[in-house]
Structure 1
Amino acid sequence: MSELRTQNHNSKAKNDLKYRCYYYSIETIKFLGSLIKNDVNKVIVNQLLRSATSIGANIVEAKASSSRRDFIKFYDIALKSANESKYWFGLLRDATEADKTKINSLLQETEEISKMLASSLMTLKGRKS
């Protein structure tokens, strides 16, 4: 990827939640696909794959919703999925031999996405202080 395209990608990804979640999902899928296949990893990987990719999917659903209420509902679900993903990443980090550095990086991105969703929800619900 050219330097200019990389800068544009990074700038857009940092500020655009939908775009950022899409690339977060891709990074998560690639990482999970690289893990050793065993019974323990299989359970965690399946749960994490569902919850991590659900974040972006619910944001896309929110953007296509027909009402403010539905929009908020999909953002609520996305936030719950992000919180669930943090749990599964923590288990994967602490209970397996998976790459801790990569997991911590993905956990950090999950945390940042969670904060963006929570902030958006507070604004949408009129509870921003």
Structure 2
Amino acid sequence: MRKNELLEVTFKLALLIIAYSEELEKAGKYVIARQIMRSGTSIGANSRESQGAESRADFIHKLKIAYKEAQETEYWLLLCQESQTYPNPDEDLVSHLKSSLKLIGKIISTSKKSK
């Protein structure tokens, strides 16, 4: 079976998101924890859904949704980093998110060019 880097990176990211969301909930930061959980786990879900796309356009569309969710997650994490009352996200989490953004962006760009 061939390795799928996109699915591996976004799955690992989702696991890190879950752990950080749980940390936020323990700190009583429920609203942001839920926002991060929704957008952060949606990245992997949409990436995985793209693998069963019905067409190239559908594939690109699903990855664009994943990219938007990654951008939203980046926003929430930045808020947590800048807030003095929130636990900082782990560097591994931030690194995985940035890797996911780059990878998804590259796949979208390459897919558009190979029409």
Task: Please report the TM-score for the alignment, with normalisation by the length of structure 2.
Answer: 0.86
**Aligned counterpart for 1:30 among listed residues 19, 27, 42:** 19
The number of aligned residues is: 110
Query: Which structure 2 residue ranges, 5 or more long, are not aligned?
Result: none
Q: Does the Cα contact within 8 Å between 2:35 and 2:76 map onto a contact in 1?
A: yes
The equivalent position to 2:95 in structure 1, one of 108, 112, 120, is 108
Q: Does 1:20 align with 2:9?
A: yes
Alignment partner of 1:71 is 2:65: no
Deviation >4 Å, runs of 4+: none
| 1:112-123 superposed matches below 5 A | 112-123=99-110
For 1:92, the equivalent position in structure 2 comes to: 80
Structure showing greater Rg: 1
Give distance in 1, aligned partners of 2:96 and 2:104.
Answer: 12
- State the percentage of identical aligned residues: 32
Q: What does residue range 20-59 of structure 1 map to in structure 2 within 5 Å?
A: 20-35=9-24, 36-38=26-28, 41-59=29-47
Task: Report the alpha carbon displacement of residue 101 of structure 1 after superposing the two structures with TM.
Answer: 6.0
Gaps of 5+ in 1: 1-11
In 2: Cα distance, 1:121 partner to 1:101 partner: 27
TM-score, scaled to structure 1: 0.77
What is residue 3 of structure 1 aligned with on the other side?
none
| Distance in structure 1 (CA, Å) of the matches to 2:78 and 2:112 | 30
Distance in 2 (alpha carbons) for counterparts of 1:44 and 1:65: 31
Distance 2:89 2:10 in 1: 20
